[in-house]
């Protein structure tokens, strides 16, 4: 796409005006026709253009009790007064409350915690604070900002305030000084878990005087990571009690549905929520782009990367500063290359377009961040690495190549564009993934719904037991101690059976006694906060002299690393030559081929304990899942043709987890006017679509939820329930079940909420399938044609119709067939 200079625009009188004009020009070009107050057009390429009106700032004067040196330093930095949320944060923290702040990107959120923390340190220099960031880079960024501020405070005649990061990169000789001198230690949960808590006596000074624990980017702690963090915070608070301190928590979060609940769940303390932002915001446009359909039969759309390239080009050639978010490292590199190519003819422009992702050296990253702040970098293509609060200033346009997966992340990325006064835009280009299509075609789902709930399950036994071990290592447990909601005394009893702890004290006396760690090991080393078990497969490239090129968690090992599988790292293809299951190693070799593989797995779900929904359509509870990879298929790149397959014999993986399931009543199945095979296809297609909608509703990754099919309790044992990607069951009987299970051993809390959202889940699934452009089913709705039968789409819709409308017990007579699904869903039907 050649870049044409724009010559027809009138000469701008100022930068802001010029940018406003350029932005208008680009938007008018992208979305011709009305673009103010425009109606949604789900079938078009531009499915929605929404305008967010500008917001004025709300200020408050500096609070009376604030240390004058801190106030002077802030005034010296140009802050004549505070935004109202900053003042409120200060007041609530002063009143001893734990707070969680959710205000938009670039609203001065960091001052909400820096203000009370610095104030407390100035008033009592023995005070200490611990800041937790999900990544090392964020901690570095925050440290730079704090240093700037503390230098200004020192200039006001205050003693130096020690601000240090403490992470894996901290040199060993600096650590001792930091432990003794840091008023504020900036670290990450992983370091706290493995490097600080197990060595707490060295940190005695910090723990004795710990006044504040700041948790930034709280929304990042959901699922497994959040469940781990909760346990790390339990250990932290246990150690604080030992040293006689009781820190206050200050959290900040992006907009999610339940920030307060999440904070209370993680820290196990009552929180107040500050959500009213006083920061100003300029006018902003949000545009949804759905690439045009190129093959209606197969439901194939134009590549979203090509579409994102076109959109980015429109803004870049109007000299606007643009950030493009790609979904993977590979996509980042591809888009960077494309955009550089597009602007090769414009002198100096190609160099002003940069890529940014994890894996770049820190120095290069700092250089790009600085370039963005100073405007020297005009365009950056990034992974989610720039989604969190790294300071890159505010850009003109944010483009998302692919739906970021959650409403919260979308707003977060959109927030990267938009200065406080000028106009800005955010564009989401949908890929062909079901979730993307759903969002693009139902813009009001995005704009009107509340963002997702962040879920955690800190009492998952796998996670809990690991942290009980770490906690026992750190401080002996007393016979009356508690830790989470599971009876920790019972956990310790089991650990004793394995010789990991010992109960001391006189067994005959009434004294509770204490539990001590009796193993040479250092338990924190064996626990990774980013996964549920530390057991993993390593991938060894035998072509490069047995070099380890990657690792993957235990659960997904067999599906991605089975013999003959194609394993992809940064665009390079490797074939698995052998899988050493017992030693958790896969040996791969570089290959050149034009296909990838997808595993066919078989999974069987057995209900262990029903929590809710006896005899009803929807239920949830504990289940046992055994799964086995039985074969694989070879899929050609680009065309997605099936070009071969193979059989495999791998060990079965078993786990205890939780699941939500939907049982189609016998009557409904019998009433459907299709053949047995068609009905089966319909159930499988419905499950396929439900799984995607479930990940949308749960704010989780597609791999976090497993899908399996089975039969009702009565038919137990008669047929084999078969699930997985493509292993279509021979027959599902006349009372089939769709299981959506938590793909982590022990479960991380998806099932009960999913059961609660049952009506919404069916409703949205219907919207997804009914709204799909394809004729008989495609990967965007009920699954690729050829894998699902020709009637899958029709039957799935009929099933949904029956489940949503036709099954009203005792009221069937009143219910006409045209009663809208929405109305029924809202009536809270007791399915």
Partner 1 sequence: MVMRPSLAERLRAVVGGAAVPRVDPNAAGLPPASEPPLPPGGGRYTLASVAAPSRGERVRTAAHALGGVVVERAEGLCIVVDRYYPSDACHGRHHVGDVVATLRRSVEGLGMLRRAWPPARPLSQALTPIKAVPELDGLCVLDLETTGLAGGAGTQAFLVGCARIDGDGVFVRQFLSPGFEHERAQLATLAEWMADRSHLVTFNGRTFDLPLLEMRFSFNRLVWPWGHLPHLDALHPARRFWRDRPEVAGPGPDESSCSLAVLEKHLSGVHRVGDVPGFEIPARFFQFARDGRAEPLEAVLEHNRLDLLSTLFVCARAATMVVYGPSATDSGYECLGLGRLYERLASQPEAEACYARAAGQGTGMSDPRLRGESLRRLALCQRRAGRVDAAAETWRALLATRGVAALVRREAREALAIYHEHRARDFGAARTLVLDALAEPLADRHRLSAQRRLARLDRKLNQVPPGGLISQIEDEVPR
Site residues (CB under 8 A) for partner 1?
176-177, 180, 198-202, 204, 461-462, 465, 472-476, 486-487, 490-491, 493-495, 497-500, 502, 504-505, 514, 516-525, 606-609, 622, 624, 656, 713, 716, 746
- Closer residue to partner 1, CB minimum distance, 487 or 570: 487
Q: How far is the CB of 384 from partner 1 (least distance, A)?
A: 32
- Closer residue to partner 1, CB minimum distance, 243 or 445: 243
Closest listed residue to residue 128, CA positions, set 89, 163, 175, 98: 163
- Closer residue to partner 1, CB minimum distance, 419 or 624: 624
Q: How far is the CB of 468 from partner 1 (least distance, A)?
A: 10
Q: How far is the CB of 722 from partner 1 (least distance, A)?
A: 19
- Closer residue to partner 1, CB minimum distance, 502 or 636: 502
- Closer residue to partner 1, CB minimum distance, 736 or 746: 746
Task: Tell me the β-bridge partners of 50.
Answer: 286
Residues sharing a CB contact under 8 Å with residue 583, sequence separation 6 or more, in sequence order: none
Task: Tell me the β-bridge partners of 537.
Answer: 552
- Closer residue to partner 1, CB minimum distance, 466 or 787: 466
- Whole-angstrom distance, CA of residue 396 vs CA of residue 223: 33
Q: How far is the CB of 532 from partner 1 (least distance, A)?
A: 11
- Closer residue to partner 1, CB minimum distance, 123 or 176: 176
Q: How far is the CB of 792 from partner 1 (least distance, A)?
A: 30
The DSSP code for 74 is H
Closest listed residue to residue 769, CA positions, set 739, 800, 740: 800
CA 298 vs. chain centroid, Å, equals: 30
- Closer residue to partner 1, CB minimum distance, 129 or 491: 491
- Closer residue to partner 1, CB minimum distance, 497 or 592: 497
Residue pair 301/432 in contact by the 8 Å Cβ criterion: yes
- Closer residue to partner 1, CB minimum distance, 55 or 486: 486
- Let me know how many helices (H) and strands (E) the chain has, helices first: 25, 32
The DSSP code for 417 is B
Q: How far is the CB of 717 from partner 1 (least distance, A)?
A: 10
CA distances from 353 to 323, 412, 516, 554 (A): 10, 22, 57, 39
Q: How far is the CB of 617 from partner 1 (least distance, A)?
A: 19
Which run of H or E residues covers position 516?
strand 514-517
CA diameter of the chain: 94
Q: How far is the CB of 627 from partner 1 (least distance, A)?
A: 16
447-482 residues labelled b (16+ CB within 10 A) or e (exposed): eeeebbbbbbbbbbebbbbbbbbbbbbbbbbeeebe
CA distances from 682 to 246, 377, 619, 677, 778 (A): 57, 51, 20, 9, 13
- Closer residue to partner 1, CB minimum distance, 516 or 642: 516
CA 513 vs. chain centroid, Å, equals: 42
Task: Tell me the β-bridge partners of 327.
Answer: none
Q: How far is the CB of 485 from partner 1 (least distance, A)?
A: 12
- Closer residue to partner 1, CB minimum distance, 15 or 504: 504
- Closer residue to partner 1, CB minimum distance, 516 or 731: 516
Residue pair 500/517 in contact by the 8 Å Cβ criterion: yes
Q: How far is the CB of 200 from partner 1 (least distance, A)?
A: 5
- Whole-angstrom distance, CA of residue 123 vs CA of residue 93: 15
- Closer residue to partner 1, CB minimum distance, 609 or 647: 609
- Closer residue to partner 1, CB minimum distance, 91 or 489: 489
Which run of H or E residues covers position 42?
none
Closest listed residue to residue 22, CA positions, set 344, 375, 280, 30: 30
- Whole-angstrom distance, CA of residue 107 vs CA of residue 418: 11
Closest listed residue to residue 712, CA positions, set 704, 699, 721: 721
| Mode of pairing for the β-strands spanning 353-356 and 397-401 | unpaired
Q: How far is the CB of 518 from partner 1 (least distance, A)?
A: 4
CA distances from 813 to 664, 667, 800, 824 (A): 21, 17, 19, 15
- Closer residue to partner 1, CB minimum distance, 486 or 808: 486
Residue pair 102/259 in contact by the 8 Å Cβ criterion: yes
Q: How far is the CB of 604 from partner 1 (least distance, A)?
A: 11
CA 324 vs. chain centroid, Å, equals: 18
Residues sharing a CB contact under 8 Å with residue 38, sequence separation 6 or more, in sequence order: 31, 48, 49
- Whole-angstrom distance, CA of residue 128 vs CA of residue 261: 26
- Whole-angstrom distance, CA of residue 32 vs CA of residue 743: 45
CA distances from 274 to 9, 85, 119, 411, 478 (A): 44, 7, 20, 18, 37
Q: How far is the CB of 508 from partner 1 (least distance, A)?
A: 11
Q: How far is the CB of 162 from partner 1 (least distance, A)?
A: 12
- What is the CB neighbour count within 10 angstroms for residue 713? 12
Q: How far is the CB of 551 from partner 1 (least distance, A)?
A: 21
Q: How far is the CB of 341 from partner 1 (least distance, A)?
A: 38
């Amino acid at each position: 796409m050649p870049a044409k200079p724009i010559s027809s625009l009138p000469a701008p009188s100022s930068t802001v005006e010029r940018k406003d004009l350029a932005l208008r020009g680009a938007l008018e070009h992208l979305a011709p026709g009305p673009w103010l107050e425009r109606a949604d057009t789900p079938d078009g390429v531009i499915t929605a253009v929404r305008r967010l009106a500008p917001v004025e700032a709300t200020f408050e004067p500096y609070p009376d009790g604030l240390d004058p040196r801190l106030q002077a330093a802030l005034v010296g930095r140009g802050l004549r007064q505070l935004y109202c949320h900053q003042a409120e944060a200060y007041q609530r923290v002063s009143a001893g409350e734990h707070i969680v702040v959710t205000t938009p990107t670039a609203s001065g959120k960091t001052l909400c915690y820096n203000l009370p923390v610095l104030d407390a340190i100035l008033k009592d220099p023995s005070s200490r604070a611990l800041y937790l960031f999900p990544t090392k880079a964020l901690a570095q960024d925050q440290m730079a900002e704090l240093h700037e501020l503390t230098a200004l405070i020192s200039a006001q005649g205050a003693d130096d305030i020690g601000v240090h990061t403490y992470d894996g990169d901290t040199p060993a000789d600096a650590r001792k000084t930091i432990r003794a001198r840091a008023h504020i230690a900036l670290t990450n949960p992983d370091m706290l878990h493995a490097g600080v808590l197990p060595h707490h006596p060295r940190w005695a000074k910090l723990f004795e005087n710990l006044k504040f624990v700041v948790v930034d980017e709280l929304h990042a702690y959901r699922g497994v990571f959040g469940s781990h963090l909760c346990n790390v915070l339990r250990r932290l608070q246990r150690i604080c009690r030992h040293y006689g301190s009781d820190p206050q928590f200050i959290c900040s979060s992006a907009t999610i549905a339940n920030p307060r609940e999440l904070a209370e769940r993680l820290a196990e303390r009552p929180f107040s929520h500050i959500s009213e932002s006083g920061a100003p915001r300029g006018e902003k446009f949000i545009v949804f782009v759905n690439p045009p359909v190129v093959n209606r039969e197969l439901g194939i759309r134009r590549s979203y990367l090509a579409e994102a390239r076109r959109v980015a080009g429109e803004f870049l050639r109007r000299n606007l500063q643009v950030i493009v978010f790609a979904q993977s490292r590979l996509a980042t590199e591809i888009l960077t290359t494309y955009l550089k190519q597009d602007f090769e003819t414009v002198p100096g422009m190609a160099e002003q377009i940069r890529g940014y992702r994890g894996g770049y050296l820190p120095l290069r990253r700092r250089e790009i961040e600085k370039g963005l702040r100073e405007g020297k970098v005009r365009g950056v293509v990034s992974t989610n690495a720039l989604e969190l609060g790294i300071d890159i200033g505010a850009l003109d346009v944010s483009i998302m190549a692919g739906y970021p997966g959650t409403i919260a992340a979308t707003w977060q990325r959109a927030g990267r564009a938009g200065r406080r006064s000028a106009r800005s835009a955010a564009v989401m280009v949908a890929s062909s993934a079901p979730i993307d299509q759903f969002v693009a075609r139902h813009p009001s789902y995005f704009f009107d719904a509340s963002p997702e709930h962040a879920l955690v399950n800190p009492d998952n036994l796998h996670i809990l037991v690991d942290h009980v071990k770490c906690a026992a290592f750190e401080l002996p447990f007393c016979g009356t101690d508690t830790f989470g909601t599971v009876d920790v005394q019972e956990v310790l009893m089991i650990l004793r059976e394995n010789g990991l702890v010992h109960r001391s004290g006189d067994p005959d006396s009434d004294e509770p006694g204490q539990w001590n760690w009796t193993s040479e090991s250092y338990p924190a080393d064996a626990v990774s906060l980013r996964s549920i078990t530390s057991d993993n497969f390593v991938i060894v490239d035998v072509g490069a002299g047995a070099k380890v090129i990657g690792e993957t968690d235990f659960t997904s090992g067999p599906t991605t690393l089975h013999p003959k599988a194609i394993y992809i790292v940064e665009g390079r293809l490797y074939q698995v030559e052998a899988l050493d299951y017992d030693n958790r190693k896969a040996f791969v070799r570089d290959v050149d081929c034009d296909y990838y593989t997808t595993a066919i797995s078989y999974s069987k779900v057995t209900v262990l304990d029903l929590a809710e929904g006896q005899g009803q359509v929807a239920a949830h509870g504990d289940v046992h899942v055994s799964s086995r990879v039985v074969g694989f298929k070879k899929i050609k790149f680009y065309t997605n043709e099936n070009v071969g397959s193979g059989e495999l014999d791998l060990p079965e993986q078993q786990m205890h987890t939780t699941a939500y399931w939907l049982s189609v009543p016998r009557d409904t199945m019998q009433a459907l006017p299709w053949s047995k095979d068609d009905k089966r296809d319909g159930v499988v297609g419905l499950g396929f679509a439900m799984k995607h909608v479930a990940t949308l509703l749960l704010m989780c990754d597609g791999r976090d939820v497993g899908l399996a099919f089975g039969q009702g309790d009565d038919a137990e044992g008669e047929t084999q329930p078969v699930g997985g990607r493509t292993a279509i069951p021979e027959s599902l009987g006349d009372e089939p079940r769709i299981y959506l299970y938590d793909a982590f051993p022990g479960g991380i809390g998806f099932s009960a909420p999913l059961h609660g959202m049952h009506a919404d889940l069916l409703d949205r699934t219907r919207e997804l399938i009914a709204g799909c452009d394809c004729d008989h089913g495609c990967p965007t709705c009920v699954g690729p044609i050829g894998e699902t039968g020709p009637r899958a789409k029709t039957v799935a819709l009929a099933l949904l119709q029956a489940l949503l409308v036709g099954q009203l017990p005792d009221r069937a007579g009143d219910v006409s067939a045209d009663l809208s699904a929405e109305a029924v869903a809202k009536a809270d039907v007791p399915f």
